[in-house]
Amino acid sequence: MKASTLFVTFGLGTAAAVILAASATAMAGEGKTVKIGDPAPNFTLTDTEGKKRSLSEYMGKIVVLEWTNTECPVVQRCYKRNTIQETVGHVKKLDKDVVWLAINSTKTTNTEQNATWIKRYELNYPILLDIDGTVGHEYDARRTPHMYVIDKKGILRYHGALDSAQDRPKPDKPVNYVVNAVQQLVGGETVAPYYMKPYGCSVKYKN
């Protein structure tokens, strides 16, 4: 590792010394159980219509996972402002075969609650129930929403925030990281950023 060192002192007699040696390639944002570049863990969960869905059945397609909680105000805001719905529409325009799966790991949720949510917002994708939190823990989903983008080979390429709306100062036009990741996958590019700190409610796990 090459380390350049810069030593700076301020005038005025009251000064701190600053030594800077910057070069870094550390992997940021890796969860305990999920890593960018590794195969996304397979799962089988049941949707609100009782249908079992496995990640493996979508091999060959880009998959977006959205950890959600219909009782989370941040998720509610995303849906009321159409942020999620517009993101779904945008990625489908980039690649009509993109699969969008919402997963609810909230310990107190139930089928009816999520079915009502789908109907209320006229969603054209399923919400999968993970009430015991097994899949959520496996993916280290921490927030709602917490987004994951998986490429056609089943490799995890992005996880974290939906967008940059929580940057401070608040951006006029937030960057949508999911759209960005799908666009890069469609274009055959390296996904960057591959992790942005998710924001929202904590996932209300059973344990």
Partner 1 sequence: MRRQRQLARRLATGLGGSAAVLLGSAVQAQLEGSPFGAAAESRVTVQLSTDADPIGPGRTFHIAVRFEIAKHWHMYWKNPGEGGISPSVRVTTPPGYVASQVLWPRPVAVTTPLGLEYSYFDEVVLFVPITAPTSLGDATVTIRVDVEWAVCRRLCLLGSATREITIATSSRPGIDGGTNARLEAFKKRLPKPLARLEGALIVFDDSTLTLTGPAGDATRAAFFGVDGPGVEFGAAKVTVGNGRFRVVVPVALEPLNAGGRAMPVGGLVTLGEAADDPSYDFVIASDNKPGLSKP
Q: Which of 52, 80, 119, 153 forms a contact with partner 1 (CB under 8 A)? A: 80
Binding-site size for partner 1 (CB under 8 A) equals 53
**Following DSSP, what letter does each residue of the chain receive, concatenated?**
-----EEEE-SSS---EEEE-----PPPS--SS--TTSBPPP-EEEETTS-EEEGGGGTTS-EEEEEE-TT-HHHHHHHHTTHHHHHHHHHHHH-TT-EEEEEE--TT--HHHHHHHHHHTT-SS-EEE-TT-HHHHHHT--EESEEEEE-TTSBEEEEE-SBSTT-SSPPSS--BHHHHHHHHHHTTPPPSSSEE---SEEP----
| Interaction between residue 110 and partner 1 (CB under 8 A) | no
| Closer residue to partner 1, CB minimum distance, 82 or 124 | 82
| Interaction between residue 24 and partner 1 (CB under 8 A) | yes
| Interaction between residue 142 and partner 1 (CB under 8 A) | yes
| Interaction between residue 6 and partner 1 (CB under 8 A) | yes
Q: What does the binding site for partner 1 look like in residue numbers (CB under 8 A)?
A: 1, 3-4, 6, 8, 10, 12-29, 69, 71-74, 76-77, 80, 108, 142, 164, 166-170, 175, 190, 192-197, 199-202, 204
